Structure formats: structure tokens, C-alpha cells
Chain A
Amino acid sequence: MEIDKLPQKFFKFLASIKLAVIILIGLAAISAVGTFYESLYNADYAKQVVYYSFWMFFFQGLLAINLIAVMIDRLPWKKRHTAFLLAHIGIILMLIGSLQTYLYGIDGVMVFPLGSKNRLIYLPQKEISVFSSFDGNKYTELLRKPVDLFKTFRKSDEGLSFKVESGSDLKIKDYYMFAESRPRITSSESKQDGPALRFLIEGSRAKQSAWLQVNKIRPVETKEFGLAQVTLSLNPPKTKLSTNEIFFYPGEDTEKVNYVLSSKVGQSKGSLQIGDKIQTGWMDFNLRLINYKKHAVEKIEFQEIKYPHALSTEAVLVEFRGKDYWIGVDQPLKVFDEDKVTIISYGKQRYDVGFNIQLKSFEVGRYQGTLKAASYSSVVEVDGKETLISMNNPMMKNGLTFYQSSFQEDESGKPTHSILSVNKDPGRFLKYFGSLVTGLGIILLFYFKKFGRVSSKRRKDEKDDDEETT
């Protein structure tokens, strides 16, 4: 092979249909893998790992090069090249359009409770933020940084570190992409925290266990079981108990909890420690104390899981002032010290649309006689002007488009939140225009011989096959 012919050969390869076939199959194969990832994990994960991966960009880039090269290779262009050029230019335009969308587009969600105002949308990207406050009303932002922890922790286990206040950094030490959160009640060192207990009620007809926990904010908690109820309170009972009730309250002893039991038989008093069992007198039910902590706090624990589900979340291990904490998405952590509170939060990036939107009303049309939604729409007020946003009828404002995308309802089927999808797509024009150009190209290529003859010197060995196009 002569060295000076190499560039020429390389160009021929870049312009070759063989390369085109490889690229097409490559794109198809990667996308196929993506759909399996989506099915196994979720859409975000598939995007992170497949659709926006290096190889996807690589093949799309290669496709652009291939398309440009093949067009250069056909110079000088003749009339019969029209279709071929159009089909290929259109695809290049679409590629540029999608790149614009990827780089500069906004694809967010705005959630409104009924009747409320909002000006923030949530973006799919995540951020970490720290606020502090002395009085609980005014908050100072100490840190707000976009993070991509999936990428960070895929590269290395080192994690991230941010300067927040003099003397202590905020460190991000570990990250679970998919985790289940479980509240766990543990003993607390602080005498300020109230008691918690777990009991089991057992009879021939049913068996049930539950936790009760009280503190200064919620001094009484009651669980009802059919005709009976179990109560835990910070203080002894002041009013009369209902017929079938057991009322717990803490005593001096850290191991024992006091109770007053009422049933048809009458009232009795006493104290229980872990493992003790009493007859309740409500049919044949027993009550057993499974756990008791005089001072307890609820901690959220996270367990990593392999595949996500609707209720799973991301979890982040942060170190702050030398202590480790796990936090979930949009489940901020509050750290108290003598004079102030610091709030550390990991969640979706927020974007200020620059004006207030008030949700005036929200309506769901249902299919007759069912709870199935047939249509839904929001009436919003912006700058004193009311606008109706319904499915396929978006509102445009400041370069953003607001679409009615969905809603939330409570268990009785009453809508509680309206959800708008808010987008900015700077690549829209090129994508549409490119589609049109390509579509036109394909039609010319297939059905108008004059503009669509591809090559005159091809396939000697297949002459008898479809002369019409050659």
C-alpha cells in the first residue's frame, strides 16, 4: 500500500455505504440494549448508561461524518442526486437539532397543589444544597451545586467534598442509585426525646403489631383495631378511657412502661417490660410488649437494591462535622447546634421560570360512570391573565411551553395536584425541518426516477434484478 494514497483510502472508507450499514446496525443495537435497561431499571438509568453514553454519541458523530463524506464523494452533484442529497442533509439537520436540544434544552416538571402559586420547575438533573438559619424563618444559602453522583461514583469511590463553613467540609462519601428507605426507631441519648413502644395483639381471629411513638410535638398517638384501641402518651390519662382501650405512659423506670387497661370487665393498672404479656379482656386477645425505649428517635435507613421500583429512591451518604448521615432525594437533613439549624438537601435542580403562575382551578373529565380520566385541564393565572392549559393545548411564555401532563389525586379520587411539563426546545425547528427534508428525499428517491437514480455503475452481477431503478 502506498503511503500517499492512505488519506484517499481513508476518505473512501468514511464515505462508504459499508460504514453506513455498520453505523445503522450499531445505532439499532445500542438502542435495543437501552430498551432492556429501561425495562429492568428505569428510564433515567437507561438514559444515563445507554442513550446518552459515549458510544451513542460516537455513532451519531460517525453518522454525521459518513453522511457529509458521501455527499462530498458524489461531487459534482447532478440532478439525479437531488433525492439522495435531501435525504441525507435532512438527517444531518436532525442530528444538529437533537444536539441543540441536548445541550440547551429544558425539560422540567412543575407541580402545583390546588390553588397555589409556583414559579419553580424541577429539572431531571440533581443538586446538593446547604442552608442555615438562626430563627427558622430566614435561611441563608451556603451551598448549591449541580452534581451527577452516578457518574462521580462510577468513576471512583472517592466521592466529593464541598467547602460549607470554616473548619468543616461537607463530604459525599457514598451513593446508592436505587435504595429502599425504612424508618427505624432507635434509642436516643437525648432526654428531650419522647418514648416509643412496639406491641403485638394476638387472638384466635387476628394478629397485629405496631409501633407507637410520641414527642413534644405529638404528645399522644393512638392505633385503632376494630373495637379496641391502644394509646401511648407522654402523660398519664386525664380523661376517662373508652371501653376497650389500653393506655401507656412512661414512668421513672427506663425499662418499664406504665399502663391503664380498660375492658368490659373493668379497669386495671400496672407496668410492663419487654416480653411481658397481659390478657386484655377484649374477647380472647393478648397484648405483648415487644419493644420499649424511654427516649427514642426515628431514623431513616437506606438499603441498596438492585432494581428500582416506584417507591425506591436514591440515597446519599454525607459527612458533616465529622458525623455520617444518609439522606434520600428531597428528604432534607436537619442538623441542630446551639444557636442555629443547618439543612442539607439532595434533590432535583430547580429552575426559576421568572414569573409567578397561580393555579386557579383544575378539572378532570371522567368517562361516564367510571373514575377513568378522559381529559384534564388547568386554569392558571399569569400577570393577571387567565389561561386554560389542557391536553394538547399548551401555554407559551418567555420561550417556555407549559403542557398539561398529568395530575395527582387522593384515595377518594379527588384531584390534589396538577402537574405541568415545562419545556424549552431550541432544536425543534431543525428537527422538524430536517424531518421534512428527509421525508421529501425518501419519496423522491423511491418514486421519482429522474431525481432519485443513485448510481449508474452498480451491480453488474445483478442486472436482471429490478432494472427499473438502475
Chain B
Amino acid sequence: METQELQPPIVQFSQLSKLLDLCRANSLWPMTFGLACCAIEMMATGASRFDLARFGAEVFRPSPRQSDVMIVTGTINKKMAPAVQTLYDQMPDPKWVIAMGNCAISGGPFVFEGQYNVVEGASKLFHVDVVIPGCPPRPEALIEGILKLEEKLTGTRRWPRVEAV
């Protein structure tokens, strides 16, 4: 299958691209897609207590063609890796990836001598924009990850950072 790469435009408008980045940051539609226990935390993030909808990011699209951000939630097995890769390839540009949880970052607890069936991190398959450590990360952490992705897109942070006491 031919891949359709997004070419950078020949003429670029700085204000327009800023506006578009702002729009993209404010409507990040994730893919309905979970691999392991981190997906449970992702569901909790969408539910009433944490409410991902506040940032316009609650539209979990079931089809990769309509989603903007892929939240890799959980362990990627060698057997699952081609499916994950296909889903990533099917998303139209511009697209982003959030690796949620230690398994998606580096393989987590599954990295040991003689390990034969786990892909050690989503970054082995495709480019990862934001990583969220934790096993599994709490919903607040996922929200923080999405805010981080927005910050990466627009260059400004939505709220002032809260310092750890």
C-alpha cells in the first residue's frame, strides 16, 4: 500500500499556522484503543470525575481515520505490534502519539533476560510525542500528558504549573 506522506506547504503563513495549531491543540480526538490496564485509567479519565471533555478531547473516535492522537495504553506484544503499527499508519496526518504507562514507554516490568514476546516501548515502532510514566498512571497524569501535548503544539501552557510541595 502506498503511503501518503504529508508534505510541508510551499508557502507558509505564520499567523494562520498558529491559529491552526491552536485549533488542533483544542480538539485532540483520541482513538478508542486500549491494550492493557492503562486503558482502564484512560476510561476513568473520560468519565465524570476527571472529565477529559473539558479540553474537547473526549471524542473517542472508533476509526483511526478520524482520530488525531493515539494513546498507546499498555503492553505491546510482538503479536499485537503489527496491528498497532497498522492503526498508526491508517491515521491521517497531522497525528500524535502518547505513550501511557511504563510498558508503552520502555516495556516496563517485562524487560528481563530471555524475554521474547514484548516490544520494549512504543518508540520502537513509531515516533512518540509525550510519555506518561506510571504503572498505571493516574487519570490526572493522562490529563497532564494531554496538556503537555497541547503545550508542544501551541508553545504555551494552558494553566500555570503547580510546583510540588
A binds B: no
